[in-house]
Amino acid sequence: MIKLDGFGWRHAGRRAWAVRGIDLRIERGERVLLLGPSGAGKSTLLHALAGLLPTDSGESEGSLTVDGRAGIVFQDPQSQLVMSRSGDEVAFGLENLGVPRERIWPRVAEVLAQVRFRYGLDRRTERLSGGEQQRLVLAATLAPHTDLLLLDEPTANLDPAGAAIVREVLRDAVGAHTTLVLIEHRLAEVLPLVDRVVVLSREGIRADGPPSLLDGRLGDELAAEGVWVPGRPLDRLPPAHKGEPVLEANGVRARGLSFPDLSLREGEAVALTGPNGSGKSTFALVCGGLLKPEAGLVSTRQMGFVFQNPEHQFVTNSVRKELEVGGTRPERVAELLERLRLTHLEKANPFTLSGGEARRLSVATAIAKAPRLLILDEPTFGQDRRTWTELIELLAQLRGQGRGILAATHDPDVVAVLADRTVEL
């Protein structure tokens, strides 16, 4: 169904190829996991299979053929929702394909039932939680009888319960003749869904075989390179000395939600947890002074903020310029580029970075001015094990230097390794 011969792609303005030398065959009905460290080109290859790399945005080589209709589901469901009503969202693709009206709505009802969508056709999409939005997007992608389903970390932004439901939907709702190509960083939960693993490197395909190939030496090598191979535990980082309060929030109410009082001190890391829709991002925005509360008082010291979507805070056309915004000292810029392994990308456009690279840059921009308080919304999503560890160790170092840290997160490892305490919404 899928055939690539010597395929490569280089983004416009970049010296290095995102992927190169890809020779690959995927048969109809196969379930394939794309694997490799951050920056190996997984998302680029997935976007190529979806036909989302226009010729004016880069340079290609080799050939790529897909025999069938492809649909893609991204990390962030909001990035591909186009209609305000849930039923219209699922019908949108069918209408664009010219499916007769009398066949559209029975198909909409069918796929909504398959993905266990519990609301009616009129439910407003902005009122859905992240997990509900992701299931709706999946229904819309499956509705046109998609031959090839491409998933780019579809559970990265979901709470554990929502992620489990999406995985169950993929197991139960995707037909036997639908080909599945999936990217996920956390492997333990998704390996049962696939029958083949393709490991990418910057030089091409490094390994190709059943999931069991991760049990031996290759699994050890990949774990050392940053892949989340199951069975490798993480160590908790030691706490730091606590100082004066850097954040006080009392009686806060925003967007119709009431939040607990919170006092966060220097040298303290607090994890803000709870299911999708509980208001973690809203509370983080209020604490950061980026959203005015309907009631209550918030007091903060000098603050840096990391958004859930890194692209929301990029304002220039190069990685280095992002760090220079606001007059950051050149030596500090160089230090952050080196620490977060971005030096080789300093001239790259931030919007061409991989998900992991973009997240590291967003953290770097937030800490460039050494704020007293750092607020992060899902700081570790999309990270391989190596970059996850580097980010958490960097946050622990900042905590040790007396910075206060508030992290809204679904990641249980952040709670286990870094957090001094948890506030659950």
List the chain domain ranges: 2-225, 245-424
Tell me the pairing of strands 245-254 and 262-265.
antiparallel
Mean pLDDT within 177-190: 89
pLDDT at 114: 87
Q: Is the pLDDT of residue 385 over 90?
A: no
Mean pLDDT computed over 56-62: 93
Does residue 252 register a pLDDT over 90? yes
For residues 94 and 144, the answer to whether their CB atoms sit within 8 Å is: yes
Q: Please state the rounded mean pLDDT for residues 311-316.
A: 89
* pLDDT mean over 361-381: 90
Angle (CA) 93-94-99 rounded to 5° is 150
Give the pLDDT band (50/70/90) at residue 233: confident
pLDDT range class, residue 234, cuts 50, 70, 90: confident
Q: Which of 162-171, 284-293, 360-369 has the highest mean pLDDT?
A: 284-293
On the question of pLDDT at 200 being above 80, the answer is yes
Q: What is the pLDDT of residue 49?
A: 97
H or E element that contains 34:
strand 31-35
pLDDT above 90 (res 162)? no
- Give 125's DSSP letter: G
Decide: pTM greater than 0.95: no
Q: What is the CATH number of domain 245-424?
A: 3.40.50.300
Around Cβ 55, how many Cβ atoms within 10 Å?
7
What per-residue confidence (pLDDT) applies to 265?
A: 97
CA atoms in the 13 A half-sphere facing the CB of 416: 8
Does residue 131 have a pLDDT over 80? no
Confidence band (pLDDT; 50, 70, 90) for 186?
confident
How many angstroms separate the CA atoms of 292 and 290, rounded?
A: 7
How large is the average pLDDT for residues 312-333? Answer: 92
8, two tokens:
């490569």
Share of the chain above pLDDT 90, in %: 64
- E strands, 154-274, where? 179-183, 196-201, 204-209, 245-254, 257-258, 262-265, 269-273
| Residue whose entry in the numeric block shows the structure tokens 């809203």 | 282
Choose the CATH number for 2-225 among 2.40.160.60, 3.40.50.150, 3.20.20.140, 3.40.50.300. 3.40.50.300
Does position 391 have pLDDT exceeding 90, yes or no?
no
Task: Order across the sheet with 404-408: list the strands.
Answer: 303-306, 373-377, 404-408, 269-273, 421-424
Strand, helix or coil for residue 74: coil
Reference 141, options 74, 196, 189, 193; nearest CA is 74
Which amino acid, one-letter code, is at 74?
Answer: F
Angle at 351 between CA 346 and CA 354, to 5 degrees: 80
- Order of strands, sheet of 19-26, starting from the edge strand that comes earlier in the sequence: 19-26, 2-11, 58-66
Q: How far apart are CA 100 and CA 125, in angstroms?
A: 24
Average pLDDT, the chain: 91
pLDDT at 188 over 80: yes
Q: Inform me whether the pLDDT recorded for 124 exceeds 90.
A: yes
Q: What average pLDDT does this structure show over 98-117? A: 94
Q: How confident is the model at residue 143 (pLDDT cuts 50, 70, 90)?
A: very high
Lowest mean pLDDT across 165-179, 313-327, 341-355: 165-179
pLDDT band at 314 (very low <50, low <70, confident <90, very high): very high
User: With 80 as the cut, is the pLDDT of residue 356 above it?
Assistant: no
pLDDT bin (cut points 50, 70, 90) of residue 139 is very high
Mean pLDDT over residues 271-286, rounded? Answer: 91
The three-state secondary structure class of 251 is strand
How would residue 320 be classed by pLDDT, with cut points 50, 70 and 90? very high
pLDDT recorded at residue 172: 82
